[in-house]
C-alpha cells in the first residue's frame, strides 16, 4: 500500500481509530529498531555493539576509551546506558540497567583491578559513601579477586541490574554473587568518571568525547 494512501486513511478515521493506528505504528517502529542490524563501533581493533539488550532493557553505547600507561595499552572499555549522557552526574543518575564492558589488550592479574577499584573509590567517594559501602565493596572486590587472571582478548562485563545489583562476568561466566545497591555501582563508575579518574582520556571516551 502506498505511503501517501496509508497516511490519508489514518487521518480520515475517527480520533480513537487514529490513536490505535499511531500506537500500532509506534510499536512497529520500536520493533524495527530493536530487530534491525546491530552495528559495531571499532576502537583499538576491538568492536563494541552500538546497542545491546540487558535485563529486558535496550542500552546504547555511550562512549569508549582506552586505559594506557605510556605506550602500554591495558584495555579498552565501553559504557552502555539507557540514554546518552555526557556528564558523570547524568551517568550516575541514569535509570535502569548499566554496563561497563572491558576488552583486555594484555594479560594481568585480577589483583590489579582490585587495587584500581579500591584506590578509585578511596579517591572519589566521600567518607559517608565509603562507610555505607564498608561491607559490600569487599564482596565486589572478592568477586574480582576470584577471577585470578585475565588474558588478552578476554571480555569482562560489569553490569548493574536493578533487581540484583552489581554482577561480574568474564567471557560470559558469572563470578561470585550479585552485590546489591545502586550506590555500589555508582562508586564503581566513579573509578572511571570521578574527579580523580583512573585515566582522564578513558573518562573522556566513556562520556562520548573523541579520543585518539
In the predicted structure, residue 10 carries a pLDDT above the cut 50: no
pTM, two decimal places: 0.81
Closest CA to 110 of 145, 142, 76: 145
What pLDDT shows up at residue 212?
56
Lowest mean pLDDT among 33-37, 145-149, 188-192: 33-37
Residues 6+ apart with CB under 8 A from 62: 78, 79, 80, 81, 84, 85, 91, 206, 207, 208
The average confidence (pLDDT) of the chain is 85
pLDDT for 31: 43
Note whether 116 and 191 are within 8 A (CB): yes
Express as a percent the part of the chain with pLDDT over 90: 74
Amino acid at each position: 500500500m502506498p505511503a501517501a494512501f496509508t497516511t490519508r486513511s489514518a487521518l480520515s478515521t475517527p480520533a480513537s481509530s487514529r490513536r490505535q493506528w499511531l500506537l500500532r505504528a509506534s510499536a512497529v517502529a520500536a520493533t524495527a529498531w530493536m530487530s534491525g542490524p546491530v552495528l559495531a563501533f571499532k576502537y583499538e581493533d576491538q568492536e563494541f555493539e552500538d546497542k545491546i539488550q540487558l535485563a529486558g532493557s535496550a542500552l546504547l553505547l555511550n562512549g569508549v576509551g582506552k586505559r594506557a600507561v605510556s605506550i602500554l595499552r591495558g584495555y579498552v572499555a565501553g559504557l552502555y546506558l539507557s540514554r546518552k549522557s555526557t556528564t558523570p552526574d547524568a551517568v550516575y543518575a541514569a535509570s535502569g540497567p548499566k554496563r561497563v564492558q572491558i576488552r583486555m589488550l594484555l594479560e594481568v592479574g585480577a589483583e590489579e583491578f582490585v587495587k584500581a577499584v579500591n584506590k578509585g573509590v578511596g579517591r572519589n567517594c566521600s567518607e559517608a559513601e565509603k562507610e555505607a559501602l564498608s561491607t559490600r565493596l569487599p564482596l565486589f572486590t572478592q568477586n574480582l579477586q576470584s577471577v585470578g587472571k585475565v588474558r588478552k582478548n578476554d571480555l569482562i562485563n560489569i553490569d548493574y541490574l536493578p533487581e540484583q545489583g552489581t554482577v561480574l562476568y568474564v567471557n560470559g561466566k558469572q563470578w561470585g554473587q550479585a552485590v546489591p545497591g545502586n550506590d555500589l555501582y555508582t562508586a564503581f563508575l566513579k573509578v572511571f568518571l570521578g574527579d580523580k579518574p583512573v585515566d582522564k582520556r578513558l573518562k573522556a571516551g566513556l562520556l562520548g568525547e573523541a579520543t585518539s
